[in-house]
Amino acid sequence: MAEELRKSVFNEELITHLSDAFSREMSSFDKQAFHELVFQQDWEDLGLKERMRRITLSMHEVLPGDYKEALYILYKVAPTVGGLQGTIFPDYVELYGLNDWEASIKALAFFTPFSTSEFGVRPFLIQDKNRMLQQMIEWAGDENHHIRRLASEGSRPRLPWGQSVPELKQDPKQTLPILEQLKRDESLYVRKSVANHLNDISYIEKDWMLDVMKKWYGKDVKTDWIVKHACRSLLKKGDPEALSLFGYGDDPGVSVTELSLQPHTITIGDSIDFSFELSVEKTMPLRIEYGIHYVKAKGNRTQKVFMLKNVQAKAGQTLTVTKKHAFKDLSTRKHYSGTHTLSVIVNGVVKAEADFVIEQRLKKLF
């Protein structure tokens, strides 16, 4: 998947498009020099972000040396390039615009609707955190939902692929004024970012984050969605305080029976089918999950939790739950032989378990 993404995003087709677009805005643009700068001998070995950076560096070599003159051309071309490909424009600002704050901040806001400037803002947070956070508070009130999202996404304490901002990791509470402005945002795109931002904070300042969630919850439908999505990691971990916020409590009247798992022995690449009966004595909300205790390369085991369903169960109700789970090797997960365990988890509590064995697939001799 990563290999396909790398080649489909930053490729010769993009460079041809950029060359043509730059040539229309700059008569002296050297297409051949740009092509040679990008496609050096090591191009095929470069990863996704390395390819992006190579293109940015190459643009700098062939565009005007004056930063604002180069920005003028980038403003013209950026609307023709979207998605991940468009990250080259905020990357240019990140590399060459730190000494021209006003022009760069305007450029980051301009570029983000066509792609995202969430990575480009990080060096500005490092250079002058207070000034940048104030700018993000202003962005949080913008009429464009892409710019409002940038305020939240760009200031995330643990932004995936983003440059680390140590001061935000050490004290993520500083971004609360931004999140407060966005907690009822009309755009789901923005609300997802706010939820992801808060989920980041749950790894750093869990108690403080939960205190904020308690204050927010139950007052607005849009905010409630954010709160629940923000607590997803804590809920998966079975955190009692997070579970209780949504009414998920351990109750002796909840029972899981008839846990069946077939087959009991599989090879890597196969699937198991499992089912169980869940009964409740009183009306209550249920968060039903299952965990797989995976055997790792060194023989130890780690659990990953998967969601099954949320239900409002009625008194005396019995639910039959069935599921198939595949054990195919992925880029993000490799399977190893040994005894694994499947756990049924209800409201954060393990209610039933069953073992099964994974064997290595035999290689064909002929």
Q: What DSSP letter does each residue of 206-246 carry, written as one string?
A: HHHHHHHHHHHTTS-HHHHHHHHHHTHHHHHTT-HHHHHHT
> What is the reported pTM?
0.89
Nearest CA-CA partner of 184 in 156, 212, 151, 220:
220
pLDDT at 266: 95
pLDDT at 363: 58
Calculate the CA 57 to chain-centre distance: 27
For the chain, percent of residues with pLDDT exceeding 90: 93
DSSP 296-335: -TTS-EEEEEEEEEEEEEPTT-EEEEEEEEE----SS---
pLDDT band at residue 7 using 50, 70 and 90 as cut-offs: confident
Q: How far is the first Cα of the chain from the last one, in angstroms, to the nearest whole number?
A: 30
Q: What is the mean pLDDT of the chain?
A: 95
Among the residue ranges 154-168, 311-325, 328-342, the one predicted with the least confidence is 328-342
pLDDT at 362: 61
Residue 193 near residue 152 (C-beta atoms within 8 A): yes
Mode of pairing for the β-strands spanning 318-326 and 271-280: antiparallel
Give the CA dihedral 275, 277, 283, 286, nearest 10 degrees: -30
Residue 313 near residue 283 (C-beta atoms within 8 A): yes
Give the DSSP H or E segment for 119.
none
pLDDT at 1: 45
pLDDT band at residue 350 using 50, 70 and 90 as cut-offs: very high
pLDDT band at residue 50 using 50, 70 and 90 as cut-offs: very high
Considering only residues 333 and 221, tell me which one the structure prediction assigns the higher pLDDT: 221
Considering only residues 174 and 331, tell me which one the structure prediction assigns the higher pLDDT: 174
134-155 mean pLDDT:
98
Among the residue ranges 4-13, 142-151, 161-170, 185-194, the one predicted with the least confidence is 4-13
pLDDT at 66: 97
